[in-house]
Amino acid sequence: MAFSIYDMTIGIFLTKETTLVSMQIFQIRKWILESPPIEWAILQIRELLIGALRQGPIPQHVAFVMDGNRRFAKSHRMETVEGHNLGFEALAKVLEVCYKSGVKVVTVYAFSIENFKRSKYEVDGLMDMAKVKLAQLLQHGDLLDRYGVRIRVLGQRELIKPDLLADIDRAAKLTRRNGDAILNVCFPYTSHEEITTAVRNTVVDYSKPLPVYQRPFSESHIKHTIRSRNLSVAASRIRNRSKSPSSRGESDMEDSSSSSTTLHPDSPPPDPNVLEKQHEDPEEECQSKYADPESITSEILNDHMYTAGLPPLELLVRTSGVERLSDFMLWQCHEATDIVFLKCLWPEFDLWQFLPVLLEWQWRRKKDAESERGAISKAKKTVKAKAG
C-alpha cells in the first residue's frame, strides 16, 4: 500500500514537472519569436511562402473547426479564458494568411447549438466570451478593411441573447460595404438545423401560388382573344335584332350559321363576360397554379442554405486530433472537399501547420487536372482512331 502511494506521489510530481517544463518552453518560444529580429525574419519568410502559394491554385472556400482551446489552457496551466484568447490570436493570424493567399470565403465553427445543453453558468460564460471575441474582431478593423472582409453570422438568431445579437448586427453593419472576402461565423449552428431550415423554407416557397404571366402569343391567349371577339360580335347582333323586329328573320338565319347558341326572342342581350365564362376551357381552369414538387433538386436546396451564393467548400480543417465533423458543414462537404484532421491544438495552429495542408491541396488539384487532361486526350485519340 505504501509502495502504491509512493508511486502515485512520484507520478503526480513528474506530471507537474512536465507541465511546468512545457509551460516554460512555450514562454521561451513565444519570447524568442516575438523578439524584433526574429519577428522580422519570420515575416519575410512568411511573405515569400505566401507569394509562392499564390502561384498555384488556391481554395476559394476554407472552413475551420477551432478545437483545443480548453485543452491547451489546461495543459499549460492557464485559465480557460486565456486559452480562448490565444485561440482568437491564432484565428486572426490564420485569417490573414488565408486572405493574403487568395481565399475568398472562410467559415469558422464558433458555437454549436448542442452547447446549450451545458450548465447555465457555462452557457452564459460562453456567450460573454463570444461578445468579447466579437469586440476583439472588430478591433482588428485594419485586417478586415485591408482585405475587404464582410462578417456574416450563420445560425439560429432567436437563440442569441438580445445584447449579443445587437453586437452581431453592429458588426455586420460595419462591414456590409466590404465584398472582396467573407468571414462566416457559425454561431449558434448545427448542420441538422441548417438543413431543416432549408427544407422548411423550400416547402414554404413551393406552397405559394405562382404569378400568372400572360404571353401575347401563347395558344391560350390567342384562343381567349378569338373567343372574346366572337362573343362580342354575337352580342352586338342580338342587340341590333331586338331593336329592329322586321329584320329578325334574316338575322336568325345568319346567326344560326355563325353561332350555335339558342336564345329566347324575349330574353335580354347576353353578357359577353358570362358567355366567356361558360365557354372557358375546363383544362385551363384546372391547370395547377403551384410549382411542381418534382422539380425540387439539390441545387434548389443549396440555394436555401446559409452558404447560398458562396463558392463550394473545398477544404475543411479540424485541429486537436479529433476526427469527426461534429455536425458542421455536412451539406457543404462533397466529393471534392478535402477534410484534414491535425493533431495540434487550435492556439498552436499557424502558417507552419497550415502550409503543408495547402501544399497538399495544391498537389492534389494539379494531379486531378493532369488526370482529366489525360482522359480527354485519350478520348480524342480513340475518336480519331475510330474515324480513321
Which residues are identified as catalytic?
Answer: 67
305: nearest Cα among 173, 151, 127, 186: 186
- Provide the b/e sequence for 348-365 (b: ≥16 CB within 10 Å): bbbbebbbebbeebbeeb
DSSP conformational letter for 344: S
What is the distance between the alpha carbons of residues 376 and 233, in angstroms, rounded to a whole number? 67
Q: Are 290 and 210 in contact (CB under 8 A)?
A: yes
Residue 133 CA from chain centroid, whole number: 23
Q: Are 109 and 186 in contact (CB under 8 A)?
A: yes
Strand order in the sheet with 105-109: 149-154, 181-186, 105-109, 61-65, 315-318, 338-341
* Amino acid, res. 331: W
Strands (E) located in 155-243: 181-186
DSSP conformational letter for 62: E
DSSP 258-314: H------TTSPPPPHHHHHHHT--HHHHTS--S--GGG--HHHHHTTSTTTTSPPP-
User: 173-179, long-range: CB within 8 Å, 24+ apart, which pairs?
Assistant: 174/138, 174/141, 175/144, 175/149, 175/150, 175/151, 176/150, 177/150, 178/144, 178/145, 178/148, 178/149, 178/150, 179/148, 179/150
Name every residue whose Cβ is closer than 8 Å to that of residue 102 and which is 6 or more positions away in sequence. 54, 58
* Amino acid, res. 47: E
Label the pairing between strands 105-109 and 315-318: unpaired
Residue that is written with C-alpha cell 441545387 in the block = 299
